[in-house]
Amino acid sequence: MKRKYIFLIIAILGVCYTWYFNIQFYLTEEDTSILNFIEQTKVNFAARSFSADLQIVLLTFFIWFIPEAIKLKIKYWWILIPLTFLVAIAFTFPFFLYLRQSKLDKMNAELSS
C-alpha cells in the first residue's frame, strides 16, 4: 500500500476518533459553548499537560506545513488552517501529509517521464 493512502486512513481515523468524543461532550454537557469546551481542557493537570502538548504540536505543524505547502504549490492548503480548529489536528496533519505525498508522487512522475 502506498504511504499516501496510509496517511489518508490516519486522517479519517483522526476525524472519527476525535469527533466521537466531541459528540459525547455535546450529548452530555449542559453548556456546550466553545468557551466551556476550552475550559474543560483545564480541569486537572493531566488535561492541562495534554492541552499544552497539543498546542506545541499545533505550533510546530503550522511553522512547518505552511512554507512546505507554498513551496510545493499545494492547492487550497490554506483550508487546513480553519479545519485544524473546526475538525482536529488529528485530521489535518495526516491529511496534509497525504496531500504532500500526492504532490511529490506527481512531481516524481513528471520528472521520470
Confidence of residue 35 (pLDDT cuts 50, 70, 90): very high
- Predicted TM-score (pTM) of this structure: 0.91
pLDDT at 1 over 90: no
Domain count, the chain: 1
**Domain containing residue 96:** 3-112
3-class SS string, the chain: CCHHHHHHHHHHHHHHHHHHHHHHHHHHCCCCCHHHHHHHCCCCHHHHHHHHHHHHHHHHHHHHHHHHHHHHCCCCHHHHHHHHHHCCHHHHHHHHHHHHHHHHHHHHHHHHC
> 53-110, pLDDT tens digit by residue?
999 999 999 999 999 999 999 999 999 999 999 999 999 999 999 999 999 999 999 9
> 54-63, pLDDT tens digit by residue?
999 999 999 9
